[in-house]
Amino acid sequence: MVPFILLILIIGSVLFHLYTPWYSTPIASNWGSIDSTIELTFWMTGIVYILVLGFMTYCVVKFRNTKNRKADYEPESKKAEVILTVLTTIGVAGLLAPGLIVWDDYVSPPEEAMPIEAMGQQWYWNFRLPGEDGILGTTDARNISADNPFGMNENDPNGKDDILIEGDTLHLEHDKPVKFLLRSIDVLHNFYVPQFRAKMDLVPGMVTFYWIKPTVTGNYEILCAELCGVGHHAMRGEVQVDNANDYQDWLNDQLTFEAIQEQAMLDREEKLAFNKSN
């Protein structure tokens, strides 16, 4: 009975893997190399799994206790140990090498990647684009207030043309690499879009990063991937990948930091005037 159940488990697992509806979501970024590395790992580990468990099942059948069976007595076999060590090392190296090559790519954003800030807080996402000058203005957590939710440094000229997207959908342009600069103002979060494959923690007090190149237009959900309090599961956002024209249209509709500040000032003056006249 035991070997039967073992066989069912092994075969069942293989079948499950081959026919599972739950496998990677369709990829929408340049990180197909990650998927390839995963597939390579599946092949290697899958073969090892089947061979090792298959051999174990065989042993359970062949060497089952019978009346006259006597076990072998062999404390050591240097040959077996050496062969197994060498094979395992080769296998492991075969996984590590491609993995590190892809990792090297992951930590080396291309020069032309546009920096986009993703700012996380409990429990929603804000974004900031660098605007015309291509440079994000500096910020400080201590500047954060109701009027200045991003904590922009008012003195920094680079920040004036930054485009602020508060709690709304981030749009990306198809086929243009972006480098996400990740900033949190309260606790650890993690900016994760399954279809992009990439993710990185947001750490308050520092700026982290990762880069992607979106390759498929569409709408994608952002999932926070680092426990950040009771609202962790509800900290969602949306990323929309547009073609060049749609992206430009969207961009034109966005307000810069300067424009928002002017609007706020106008609102205040209007209110003051209204109060005065009453």
Partner 1 sequence: MSESIIPESELEEVELYHPKSWWTEKVFSQDAKLIAIQYGLTAFAIGFVALVLSWFMRIQIAFPEMAIISEGTYYQFITMHGMIMVVYLLTALFLGAFGNYLIPLMVGARDMVFPYLNMVSYWTYLVAVLVLFVSFFTPGGPTGAGWTLYPPQAILGGTPGQETGIVLMLVSLCIFIVGFTMGGLNYVITVLQARTRGMTLMRMPLTVWGIFTATVLALFAFPALFVSAVMMLFDKLLMTSFFMPALVEFGENLSYGGGSPILFQHLFWFFGHPEVYIVALPAFGIVSDLISIHARKNIFGFRMMVWAIVGIGALSFIVWAHHMYVSGMNPYFGFFFATTTLIIAVPTALKVYNWILTLWKGNIHLTIPMLFCLGFIVTFLNGGLTGLFLGNVIVDVPLSDTYFVVAHFHMVMGIAPVLVILGAIYHWYPLITGKMLHDGMGRFHFWITFVGSYLIYFPMHYLGFIGVPRRYYEMGQTEALYTSSAADLNVFITIAALAVGFAQLVFIYNVFWSARNGKVAEKNPWKSTSLEWQTPEQPPIHGNFGKELPVVYRWAYDYSVPGAEDDFIPQDVPNEKVKLAEGYTELGVEKT
Question: Shortest approach of partner 1 to residue 82 CB, angstroms?
Answer: 10
241 binds partner 1 (CB under 8 A): no
Residue 134: closest CA among 159, 110, 154: 159
Q: Say how many C-beta atoms besides its own lie within 10 A of residue 92's C-beta.
A: 11
Phi, psi of 256 (to 5 degrees): -85, 170
Tokens of 197: 């494959």
Residues 178-207 that bind partner 1 (CB under 8 A): 182, 185-188, 190, 192, 194-195, 197-206
Among 18, 19, 69, 274, binds partner 1 (CB under 8 A): 69
Distances (CA, A) of 178 to 33, 88, 118, 181: 17, 39, 11, 9
48 binds partner 1 (CB under 8 A): yes
Which amino acid is present at 213? K
Binding letters toward partner 1, positions 16-45, x by CB under 8 A:
x---xxxxxx-----x-xx--xx--x--xx
Instruction: Compare residues 34 and 163 and give the one whose CB is closer to partner 1.
Output: 34
Question: Shortest approach of partner 1 to residue 267 CB, angstroms?
Answer: 20
Among 15, 60, 264, 266, binds partner 1 (CB under 8 A): 60
Among 11, 14, 15, 85, binds partner 1 (CB under 8 A): 85
Radius of gyration, alpha carbons of the chain: 28
Measured distance CA(197)–CA(189) in Å, rounded = 16
Question: Shortest approach of partner 1 to residue 255 CB, angstroms?
Answer: 22
Measured distance CA(40)–CA(33) in Å, rounded = 10
Among 43, 77, 134, 270, binds partner 1 (CB under 8 A): 77
Question: Shortest approach of partner 1 to residue 6 CB, angstroms?
Answer: 7
How many residues are recorded in the chain? 278
115 binds partner 1 (CB under 8 A): no
Handedness of CA 252, 253, 257, 263 (dihedral sign): positive
Among 180, 220, 247, 257, binds partner 1 (CB under 8 A): 220
